Amino acid sequence: MRFSKTLMVAVAINLWSWAAHAQLNNLAPTELRNVETGLFIDVRRGIFEPEIPLWTYTGNTTDAQVFYPNITSDGDLHRLRASHPIDGPRLWVTIIEVDTRGIVVQEGDSAPERYRIVLRSEIEPPTEAQDSPFGVDQVLPLAGNLPMRAVPQHQQWRFTPVDAADGLFSIHPAAFPDFALTATGSEPGSPLLLRSYSGSATQHWHVDSLRLDPPDNVALTDFRYFPPGKLRGDISWTADSQRVDGFQVFAQPQNPALQEQSSELLSRAAREWEIDFEPGREARDEEWCFSVEARDRRAGRDIRERSQWVCEVARRNAPLPPPTTKYSRVIIENCHPDRITVRVWTSVNQGAWQDKGQLSHQYSASGICPQIGSPQTIDLADDTFTSIVAMHPDCGSQSPGTAQATCRVLDSAPYPGDESSDNVDRIQLGSGRL
């Protein structure tokens, strides 16, 4: 099968266009670094105002070197919005024509050499057509009241892949497709000009997207509700930390009556966070959704990417399943994560509740538990069923029969007793056996 030259050229252009879009992330913060000089396209002196020119400068990770490619409606061209403070103007990389009576970037007969590369507000297509080699145009004032032509094509750029796999492109203005952005010197502050495209390394640019990869593999572990209103657990994630300088965890309740929660800004090395907040009793049996946000705030940037939400209902102190064997005693160790002193109660054969006294936490100064103090031992009598409950200190000395159910931090199923049995059960508050 033979293909026509026109068809092969069309296929090649489409493939190049696809490769360009594969590298250029629409609206992603992007740096443009010259291959020959290693300098970056930069807003002169970091001043974000109309008519400020662009030059090439040493990399400094400031907003002056960050641009946002914005794909046009035809899907083949991009506009480049300059990064700027949140309350600053929306400015675009623009070529402006200078009247022959005004400043000329470079002497010569070629039209593009009468142009400067500056920042400007968005150029809107006019409602009435005028004669112009570029189609519809406008005549707008320039500093010094010199006339100039401003057309939408002066803010539109074609990124042509030189080595798409390496993110290498030449950048051509839509108004002058045979010309390209060119670095004119290796010294910081060298002009950025339009020159006839020759394939020189001074016309090739590394297009480096600064968009962060969102954290991945977000997982909740041992997410639990502790009376009277605390949530505890662990959240973990994976992430590419090359550009990240910190993470932040966000918790979104399904119940609108509850407040959102968030962590402090965590280090770039963090891959897990201990959930520990107290939204109140309303948090019981409510679903919470968690997301991890990667951030890059270096040198004034504030680039953020969030993971997908992971949702779960916190497990709470459900009764233990009934034992299948008989026991002579039950030993209770207090490793509650809040390091509280609980009050232990027992009920034999569903009778009146008996106060067995307080049980202090058993954490050592280094956080090891059980390490200090003594556990509570409950002896079980023959042919009895003994229920064991531990109460939160916020509920005072109220018995389980009169206090709210949310006061219980331990609520066991009845234990069948056998004084001669060698079976001893051990319950540890805070271990998940609640």
Higher per-residue pLDDT: 409 or 138: 409
- pLDDT above 60: residue 3: no
10 Å Cβ neighbour count for 43? 26
pLDDT-derived band at 10, boundaries 50, 70, 90:
very low
Higher pLDDT pick, 422 / 27: 422
The contacts of residue 233 (CB under 8 Å, 6+ apart) are 220, 221, 222, 223, 224, 274, 275, 314
β-pair type (205-209, 30-34): antiparallel
pLDDT digit string (tens) for 27-43? 677 889 999 999 999 99
Binning pLDDT at 50, 70 and 90, where does residue 379 land? very high
Average pLDDT over residues 188-196: 90
Q: Say if residue 329's pLDDT is above 90.
A: yes
The pLDDT, as a whole number, for residue 50 is: 87
Contact partners, residue 80, CB within 8 Å, separation at least 6: 67, 68, 69, 70, 92, 93, 155, 157
- pLDDT value at residue 114: 66
The mean pLDDT value for 234-238 works out to 92
Residue pLDDT, tens place only, 54-69: 999 998 878 888 888 8
The string of pLDDT tens digits covering residues 72-131 is 766 678 888 887 555 567 888 988 776 544 333 333 435 555 678 888 887 765 444 444
* pLDDT tens, position by position, 242-282: 678 789 999 988 888 788 888 888 888 889 988 888 787 77
Q: Is 34 left (phi over 0), alpha (psi -120 to 50) or beta?
A: beta
Which pTM value belongs to this model? 0.48
Q: Which residues contact 18 (CB under 8 A, 6 or more apart)?
A: none
